[in-house]
Each structure stands twice: as structure tokens, then as C-alpha cells.
Amino acid sequence: MKRRNLILGLCVFMGFQVAAQELIWEENFEGKSINMENWSYETGDGCPDLCGWGNNERQIYSEDYVAVKDGNLVITADKVGDAYYSGKLNSKDKFEFQYGTVEVRAKLPDGHGLWPAIWMLGANIDQVGWPASGEIDIMEFVGRQPDTIHNALHTPASHGDTENIKSTPVEDATAGFHTFKMNWTEDAITFYINDVKTYTFSPEEKNEETYPYRHPFYFLLNLAVGGNFGGPDVDDSIFPKQFLIDYVKVYK
């Protein structure tokens, strides 16, 4: 705090204008259970409307695989018999916002076939569908690429395909906690990994097809198994595995 105040003081002294960010929402995963005022569970396999959740994923989501422990959200993926189980939360209808900076501190699980994600969907998805709602992938990781972290966006112009993506090498991606940040404005979305800028998305022409990011969005936190991006092959020897999230913070 002292160092931050010193930097701000120097900026003011030198004539720079500093825009202070206001913390408008935070989830620190304290206590012993999920705060249901902030989150809802998504359960099942997506059937019949979106089997495999649209990506040929192999897991069944269950509340039993989501917990709060030692100040972290813990999402566990496991194989029980012939079935894979994991957990997923969303903040739909509970916390939605438009524009700001998101910061998430998380520890990623290793293992071929795992696909943890920190992402957002447009709150209008029930009215317009996907990808018209827009999707912002603040962090995606797949175990088959153990030293790479992905930032991506899905738009109607790309037909939902992952054309707008930046894959960044990150040494020891699963060795400890990392900080993932996204700054979202009316005209651009910029991503950071451990405070290093990785990708800015700002199409020259902005409309509902190319930039469906001018309305409120909500969070999703999950750990998928397999799928189109996670890969068809899953190493069954790795289970159980845990995806840990320390906090989610939103600044304006």
C-alpha cells in the first residue's frame, strides 16, 4: 500500500492524471460454503438442449464437486466408474456488469484432458442466443498444452469459432497461483497474465456482429474434461485434480 501511494504521489507531482479504480464487487471465497447470493450451480451434461455443453465435453457437473476450503474455491474433477464428474458456477442474474477491470487469482490443474476456464457470457443470451450474446474467455488452459494459457473472444462475425485468440507461453503454468486480468471498455478488451499484457481485441468496425460487448455480462467458472478444445484423449491416471480460485474482483 505504501509503495502504491508513493507511486500515485509521484504521478501527481509530475503532472500525470491518475484514474483511480473503484472496487465494485469481489468474491474471496471465505467461509465454508459457496455464497449463493453470488453464484448458481450448473449441473448435468447439458442434455437435451446442449449435450456435452456444445463442445463434446465428457464431464457431468455436480454440486458435490464444488467447495470452499482454506480461502479458495475448489473445483474437483474426478472419474467414478466410467463417468467423469466436475463442477461449474455462474453469476447469471446475481452479478452482471458492463465495462470495467476483472482480476482473478487462480491455480491451474495439470493433466492431459483437463480444461479449466474463467469466462463470461452476455446476460442477454436467453434472448439472442450464442454467439450473438458474445463470449469473453479471460483464461482457458488445456492440459495437453501444459505451458500455454489462452485468451479468446467469440462473436457472431466469427460464427462462434475461435478466431480471436492469443495463446501465450507461461512457464510453470500449473506450478502455483497466477493472476489473470481483463480490462473491458466500450471499444476494446485487453487481457493480462501476471500483469503482462497479452492481447487487445478492438476490431476496426464495431457492431453487434464484430463487437457484441456493449451490454452486461456474467461470470462462469468451471473445469471441463475432454471436449473439442480439451482434446479427445483423457489420461485417467491423473484423477482427482483440483482447480483453485483465490478471488474474483471487479473494478470500475
Instruction: Give the span between the Cα atoms of 167 and 140, in whole angstroms.
Output: 9
Q: Which of 27, 57, 103, 135 is catalytic?
A: 135
209 noted as active-site residue: no
135 noted as active-site residue: yes
Going by the DSSP 8-state scheme, the letter that residue 20 receives in this structure is P
Following CA atoms 198, 202, 208, 213 in sequence, which dihedral angle do they give, to the nearest 10 degrees?
50
Q: Which of 37, 140, 171, 204 is catalytic?
A: 140
Report CA-CA distances (Å) from 171 to 92, 153, 212, 246. Answer: 33, 23, 33, 20
**Grid cell digits, residue 133:** 450474446
Going by the DSSP 8-state scheme, the letter that residue 61 receives in this structure is E
CA torsion sign, 108 to 52 to 228 to 133? negative
End-to-end CA distance of the chain: 19
Closest CA to 115 of 53, 25, 192: 53
Instruction: Enumerate the H helices of the chain as residue ranges.
Output: 2-13, 125-128, 227-230
Q: Please identify every residue annotated as catalytic.
A: 135, 140
